[in-house]
Amino acid sequence: MIPDEIFIKIVRSAVRSPSAHNTQPWLFAKQDDDLCIVPDFSRSLPVADPDQRELFISLGCAAETAMISARFYGYRPTLQINALSRDCPINISLQKDDLIEKPALFSYIKVRQTTRNRYAGTAVTHEDITALVKVADADRIRFYIGQNEIQPFGSFIAEANDIQMSNPKFVNELIHWVRFSKKEAMQKGDGLYTSCSGLPSFGRVLGSFVLRNAVTAGSENKRLLNQLKKTAVIALFTTPGNNPENWIKTGMVFQRFALTAASLKLSHSHLNSPCQITEVRDKMRSYLGLKGEFPQLLIRLGFSHKMPDSFRRSVNDVIIKPKK
């Protein structure tokens, strides 16, 4: 039986994981020696993520963090994915092991963040790319280096953003998850805090007005294409299939990648829209010659300064209490 205090420490690390719109769509249960990660579908994004693809990627991120944390606290994790199980799609058995090596990535769980500012444009070294390649099977992450390889992504990003931003339901869902002030972000402990994107604190009424009227597909595209010009490397995560098990595994690889990037002092952020809109994803896939592979995450990498961190809910809100 894992002691309660260790279980809570592992969950506290796992909730620091990234999730789409910072929805934190996870619940954790302790069952004897097992840690079970369960989706919280009440936190899904029906418009932006109708297949719950990104929800399962987020769960994969939490699973990876939980396993790194378990090793740090002297427990050997064994993972079982049964993605279609409602009760326990991700089961991590934990065995005490005093000889287990403490993982170096543990220290970066708190340091990692999605950094959405403009990067310096400085090249990433070959050694750093090699370290990032090692976090996954070579065919799971593809790297596009230098402006000649990076610029073609601009048209896919712009096309997908146009589709999303011209959908009022997408904008409404986004506004629902934006936290327009520090007070709101702290109280809710979730969502997209404006300061994390370098935006001022408007308050909800003014903020919603600005987002609905001043932030357009055009302004978003301009901002993202400017960011692309200063991006040193793009990483594309792909999977051989397109189902919940593949998505969970993408999340695990992505979280190892993000923690490794943090250890190398490299910033990263998402340019996922071409992976989110099926017709754009298929065009991008054929442009890149990715037969039989599904693009899941598109990530830019580079050097920049840190941004404010996003907030998290308390562990008490995400632990399923055992039935008496």
Ligand X SMILES: Cc1cc2nc3c(=O)[nH]c(=O)nc-3n(C[C@H](O)[C@H](O)[C@H](O)COP(=O)(O)O)c2cc1C
Nearest to 260 by CA among 139, 144, 134, 132: 132
Residue whose CB is less far from ligand X, 123 or 163: 163
Residues 163-202 that bind ligand X (CB under 6 A): 192
Task: Give min distance, CB of 109 to ligand X, in A.
Answer: 10
Residue 21 DSSP SS3:
helix
User: Using CB under 6 A, which of 7, 10, 15, 19 touches ligand X?
Assistant: 19
- The rounded distance, in Å, linking the Cα atoms of 224 and 219 is 9
Is 248 a binding residue for ligand X by CB under 6 A? The answer is no
Task: Give min distance, CB of 223 to ligand X, in A.
Answer: 11
Contact assessment for residue 159 and residue 6, using Cβ atoms and an 8 Å cutoff: no
User: Using CB under 6 A, which of 13, 22, 52, 69 touches ligand X?
Assistant: 22
Binding part of the chain for ligand X, among 19-27, 64-72, 77-85, 198-206 by CB under 6 A, reads 19-27
Is 61 a binding residue for ligand X by CB under 6 A? The answer is yes
The sign of the CA dihedral 65, 68, 71, 73 is: negative
Nearest to 95 by CA among 78, 112, 114: 78
Nearest to 310 by CA among 177, 211, 205: 177
Residue whose CB is less far from ligand X, 221 or 310: 310
Task: Give min distance, CB of 286 to ligand X, in A.
Answer: 22
Task: Give min distance, CB of 20 to ligand X, in A.
Answer: 4
Structure tokens at 304: 């920049």
Is 18 a binding residue for ligand X by CB under 6 A? The answer is yes
Structure tokens at 315: 């562990």
Is 113 a binding residue for ligand X by CB under 6 A? The answer is yes
- The rounded distance, in Å, linking the Cα atoms of 105 and 261 is 10
For 312, left (φ over 0), alpha (ψ -120 to 50), or beta?
Answer: beta
User: Using CB under 6 A, which of 52, 65, 272, 304 touches ligand X?
Assistant: 272
Residues at the interface with ligand X (CB under 6 A): 18-22, 54, 57-58, 61, 113-114, 116, 192, 269-270, 272, 310
